[in-house]
């Protein structure tokens, strides 16, 4: 799926960006199309636009699954000229509108050691805030196809959107589900994430196609297994916090590896401690 779109269900196509293995989904209807996520930089977004045009000439509506750089920093290239509608959760839209300098700085700092060239591009990227916001659910008509944008709860961030295409039995999960690596917990809500993924599972069938934020397309069984790991992690955080153990104890015992689990434990402890 690298470099071009591959059809994974009826008129639903997935493009994988090669560097960070980010997935972008294209839903094609009659005379209209929907593009879910816009990648990290103007260069990546330009290549993405060309790949989309190779599939369909129809006008695009855009969706950001959340506000992290690898899913939305391409907005300006794809939506500013000519202007196109961009949907996101209201908190993701607010972050892009009100904190662009902070988001650029955080993206640069995250990438500067492992991918310095990308980090340099991120520091100079023009951000474009979504034009339409979603609170809980919005239903779009994409060329005669019903597409549901939904905020199922807090998980990877407090502003995650999933995109459900019922007629193709496809769920675009964003970073609420990860395949190519462990979930990212730096801005997460690990105690609530299992309930959010449980909500996703209620929409899936045995034949559902699930597009994770990064990596290979998966199925309901994969999501069910990741939900079990997230639930185990949440239980370990609660138990360790109740017992007065340090977050490092959770990291030593939890699924997903020590570094992600330590981020999760610290986030979970802060939530359990409440406002200071």
Q: How many CB atoms lie within 10 A of CB 80?
A: 12
Residue 1's pLDDT band (boundaries 50, 70, 90)?
very low
Average pLDDT, the chain: 96
Q: Which of 211, 234, 237, 238 is nearest to 222 (CA)?
A: 211
What are the tens digits of pLDDT across the range 159-208? 999 999 999 999 999 999 999 999 999 999 999 999 999 999 999 999 99
What are the tens digits of pLDDT across the range 27-55? 999 999 999 999 999 999 999 999 999 99
Q: What is the mean pLDDT of residues 259-267?
A: 96
Query: What pLDDT sits at residue 81?
Result: 86
For 130, list phi and psi in degrees, rounded to 5: -55, 150
Query: Directed axis angle between helix 100-111 and helix 90-98, to 10°?
Result: 90
Which has more pLDDT, 274 or 246? Answer: 246
What is the rounded distance in angstroms from the CA atom of residue 184 to the CA atom of residue 160? 13
Q: Where are the domains of the chain?
A: 6-273
Q: What is the mean pLDDT of residues 137-146?
A: 98
Query: What pLDDT sits at residue 2?
Result: 55
Tokens matching residue 141: 């008509």
Q: Is the pLDDT of residue 108 over 50?
A: yes
Contact 207, 48 (CB under 8 A): no
Q: Is the pLDDT of residue 66 over 70?
A: yes
According to the CATH classification, is domain 6-273 in 3.40.190.10? Answer: no
Q: Which of 129, 208, 125 is nearest to 162 (CA)?
A: 208
What is the rounded distance in angstroms from the CA atom of residue 251 to the CA atom of residue 257? 7
Name the strands in the sheet holding 132-134, side by side, starting at the edge strand that comes first in the sequence. Answer: 6-9, 12-16, 23-28, 33-36, 60-63, 86-89, 132-134
């Amino acid at each position: 799926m690298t470099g071009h779109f591959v059809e994974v269900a009826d008129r639903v196509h997935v493009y994988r960006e090669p560097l960070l293995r980010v997935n972008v989904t294209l839903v094609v209807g009659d005379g209209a199309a929907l593009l879910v996520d816009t990648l990290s930089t103007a260069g990546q977004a330009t290549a993405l636009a060309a790949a989309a045009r190779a599939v369909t000439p129809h006008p695009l509506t855009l969706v950001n699954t959340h506000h992290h750089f690898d899913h939305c920093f391409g907005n300006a290239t794809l939506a500013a000229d000519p202007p196109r509608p961009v949907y996101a959760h209201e908190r993701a839209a607010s972050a892009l509108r009100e904190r662009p300098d902070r988001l650029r700085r955080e993206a640069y700092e995250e990438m500067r050691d492992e991918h310095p060239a990308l980090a340099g591009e991120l520091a100079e990227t023009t951000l474009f805030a979504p034009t339409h916001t979603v609170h809980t659910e919005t239903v779009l008509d994409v060329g005669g196809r019903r597409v549901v944008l939904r905020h199922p709860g807090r998980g990877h961030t407090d502003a995650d959107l999933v995109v459900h295409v019922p007629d193709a039995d496809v769920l675009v999960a964003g970073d609420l589900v990860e395949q190519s690596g462990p979930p990212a917990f730096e801005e997460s809500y690990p105690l609530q994430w299992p309930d959010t993924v449980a909500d996703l599972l209620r929409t899936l069938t045995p034949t559902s196609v699930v597009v994770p934020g990064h990596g290979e397309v998966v199925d309901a069984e994969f999501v069910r297994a990741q939900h079990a790991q997230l639930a185990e992690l949440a239980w370990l955080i609660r138990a360790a916090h109740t017992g007065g153990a340090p977050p490092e104890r959770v990291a030593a015992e939890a699924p997903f590896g020590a570094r992600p689990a330590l981020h999760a434990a610290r986030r979970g402890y802060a939530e359990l401690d409440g406002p200071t």
